Structures are given as C-alpha cells and as structure tokens.
Structure 1
Amino acid sequence: MTGKTDRRPLASRDTGWARWLTRKLAATSVTPNQISMASMAAAALAGAAFWGVAHSEGAARVALLLLAALGCQLRLLCNLMDGLVAIEAGRQTADGAFWNEFPDRVADLLILVGLGLAAGLPALGWAAGALAVLTAYVRELGRACGLPADYSGPMAKPQRMAAVTLAAVLAVLEPLWRGQGDVLALALWLIVGGTALTALLRAQRMLAQLRAR
C-alpha cells in the first residue's frame, strides 16, 4: 500500500464508523490484500447485476438495480478498508502496491461495462472503462516522474461510483415517468465526458509541474 502522505484524500477515513470497522478487521486474520480482492468481487456483483438489468423488467429489474448500487458501495468500502487496515493497523506488505491498484482497474471495467450493457450502450461502457483506466495511468505516470499523486476530478473514482450508484437508484423510479433506461444512459454519458476531462486536466497539471522544474 502507499504511504500516508500519498493517499487519496477521503473524509470518510476519519469517521468514527471507519475507525471502528478498522479495529474490528485488524482484530481478525483478514489481510489488506484480501480486502482488495474482495473489491473485485463487489464490482463483479455490480457488473453482473447491471447485465441482468438489460434482460429484466418489473420487480426483478428494481432488485438488480439496487443490487448494482450496493455492489458499487461495497467496492468503495473495500477500497477504504484495505488502506486503513494496511496503514493504521500496520499490515503493509511488499506486494501491497500491486493490490492497491490492480483490483481498482478491474473493478472500474466490471462496473462501467456492466452499466453500458444496462443502458443499451455497450461501446460507451467500454469507453468509460478505458477512460477510467487512463485517469489512473496519468496519475501513476506523474508519480513515476517524481510528482505527487493527483487524485483530482471532476470525475475521479469516488465521483464515478457516486454517479453510478445514484443512477442505479434513480433508474428504479423510471416507471413513474415511463422512462426506458434514460437515467442510466445519461449517467454513462456524463461519466465518459467527466472522466475524459479528468484525464486531460491531470495530464495538463503533470506537464506544467514537469516544465516548472
């Protein structure tokens, strides 16, 4: 895992419930890397639920949308807990950096491609996944050049997952206005545009910092 000074700024990290859960997990044999692996399972749950949304209707569709939203939030919870258990509980490992990054890229693809299938726009789902990977690549490229990690948005991982979760919940209400997947499609377009802008802005900041040396 990364050091304390090079972590994504998260207000939830300092909450009472997060510290309580960290203590509970630290008292078990669960490792940070296992929590990171669990984030991929949560993302797979969300992605599979979104895939099911494309083939369901009525109560089944509602249940799958809520399951997808839950999977996204469980993914974020795992992302929070793996770092807290590793650093706050002193369980850092030599391969922690791999498990800190690799599962996130897999999770982004599983969720965003699944969202694309649910919205009837599979190509756009793949584009969103690719752009999410690109934002992480730009951040890590900056770090490789000796710069601080850039976690800024406007559509970084927390914002993407918030948008996906909100879209899944709002899509449950679509029958009220006879919607046909419009909420999911709109969210996907916003994520694609926002993520592309995020990658561009990170690249611009990185170049500016390198030129200022």
Structure 2
Amino acid sequence: MGYLMDRRPLKVRGATWAKKLAKMLSDLGLTPNAISILSVVFAFLVLFSAKEAHANKLFLILSAALIQLRLICNLLDGMVAVEHGKSKPNGELFNDVPDRFADAFIILGASFYVQKDLFFLTATNVAWIATCLAITTAYIRVLGKSLGTSSYFIGPMAKQHRMFLITVALILEYFLYGTAYAQKVIYFTLVLIAFGSLITIFRRLIIISNDLNKGELR
C-alpha cells in the first residue's frame, strides 16, 4: 500500500530487464521489505570498498557497482510490491527508512577514499554535512506528505542525482588513480552534493509551504 502512495517517477520501471528481474525475485519469494534491507547491505559495503581503494583501485569500480545495486534494489522493491501485489501495511517504513541509512553509508563511504586535507574541511567533515542535508531533503518530502501535500522528489540533489554523481566520481577516480588529481573529484562531488541538497531543501520547503497556504492538498 505504501509503495502505491509514494513512488518516485521512473521510466526504467517499464524496461524489460526490470520487469523480468522483479518477476524473478517475486517468484523466489523475496518480499519488498527484504529487498529494501538488501539495498542497505550493498550501501554498507561501500564503507569498506571505498576505503580499500587506496590499496587497489579496482575497489573504486566495486564501490560504483555497489551503489548501482543499491539503486536497483530501490527500483525492484516497489515493483515487487505493486506489480506483483506483495505490498505490506508497513511497506512505507521499509520504503523510506532504509534509504536514509543507505544514503549515509554511501556518502560517508565515498569520503573514506579521500585522505588528503584539500581545504579547511576534511572530506569526512564535508560528507557529514552532505549526509545531514541529504537526509533533510527526504525528511521535508515526508513531512509535506504527512501534512497532506504531494510527495515532491524534485532536485537538484534528489537521491538519484546524488547517487549518479558519486558513481561517476568513483569511476573518474579510477582513471585518475595515482595522479595529482586523485581524490579531488570525490571531494568536490561531496561539496556539490552538500550545496545542491541545501538548494533542494529550500525548493521543497517553498513548494510545500505554498501548497499548504493555497489549500492544495491531496
């Protein structure tokens, strides 16, 4: 039920591979909630794989792959719930709460690769700021929904935007490994996520506030 109420609009749901994979998971007996938990497992592994990239740059590619596996789980949990009729009354909790942990693990994990102090803030400090702001964007969306407005997934730094940027940054770092530019791409990506999330927070607040003032509730 929760998945029907709060689904991010994604064209990829219509892709043949996504439909086949969702059917396969459903036939195997996996529940949407279990798939949501699996997404957190993939995200948690980024904490270790990004750190290990100092010794072996292949872990950068592994980290990027883990992020994509997390996103695939985010796609499939809703598809199994809705298209295959396996939604649960507590589905909304498993649809949102695991995402917040996954965001934190991935953003912080990416910062573990950056050991250089490039500016007055370390990469880990920037990552903590970016994580807090990213989670706040989701909090505002859910708060607006609880007050009766639509669920706003707008960016510029919605979940898919954050994960795309970090994935690209990790791949770029693979090719920059051992050069003077190594680690800088990740650092500036974290800065961009922090600033972008701040803009997203204000955009969502303004739209939700306007909806409430106008009485434009669902």
TM-score range, shorter chain: over 0.9
| 2:26 partner letter | A
Task: Show the 5 A alignment for 1:44-83.
Answer: 44-53=44-53, 56-57=54-55, 60=56, 62-83=57-78
| 1:52 partner letter | E
* SS at 2:151 equivalent: coil
Contact 2:107 2:130 in 1 (8 A): yes
Q: Deviations over 1:44-92 (max 9, x none)?
A: 1122212223xx24xx1x1111111011000000000000001110001
| 1:114 lines up with 2:109 in the alignment | yes
Q: Which residue of 2 aligns with 1:100?
A: 95
Contact 2:3 2:92 in 1 (8 A): no
Distance 2:3 2:175 in 1: 42
* SS at 1:153 equivalent: coil
- RMSD after superposition: 1.4
Task: Show the 5 A alignment for 1:1-213.
Answer: 2-4=2-4, 6-53=6-53, 56-57=54-55, 60=56, 62-120=57-115, 121-175=123-177, 177-213=179-215
TM-score computed with the length of structure 1 as normaliser? 0.93
Runs of 4+ in 1 over 6 A off after TM superposition: none
* SS at 2:42 equivalent: helix
Q: Which residue of 1 aligns with 2:119?
A: none
Distance 1:45 1:182 in 2: 22
Gap runs ≥5 in structure 2: 116-122
Q: Which has the higher helix share?
A: 1
Contact 1:86 1:92 in 2 (8 A): yes
TM-score computed with the length of structure 2 as normaliser? 0.91
Gap runs ≥5 in structure 1: none
> Which stretch shows the higher mean deviation, 22-31 or 141-150?
22-31
Relative to 1, partners in 2 of residues 1:3 and 1:112: Cα closer, same or farther, differing over 3 Å? closer
Q: How much has 1:178 moved relative to structure 2?
A: 3.0
Q: Deviations over 1:127-163 (max 9, x none)?
A: 1111111000000010011001000111100010000
Report how many residues are paired.
Answer: 208
Distance 1:3 1:95 in 2: 10
Contact 2:2 2:89 in 1 (8 A): no
Q: How much has 1:177 moved relative to structure 2?
A: 4.9
Q: How much has 1:25 moved relative to structure 2?
A: 1.2
Distance 2:5 2:90 in 1: 19
| 2:10 partner letter | L
Distance 1:108 1:101 in 2: 11
Q: How much has 1:19 moved relative to structure 2?
A: 0.8
| 1:82 partner letter | D
> Which stretch shows the higher mean deviation, 167-176 or 12-21?
167-176
Distance 1:50 1:177 in 2: 17
Relative to 1, partners in 2 of residues 1:108 and 1:3: Cα closer, same or farther, differing over 3 Å? closer
Distance 1:94 1:3 in 2: 10
Q: How much has 1:99 moved relative to structure 2?
A: 0.7
Distance 2:129 2:178 in 1: 30
Distance 1:181 1:3 in 2: 38
Distance 1:176 1:97 in 2: 44
Distance 1:71 1:3 in 2: 23
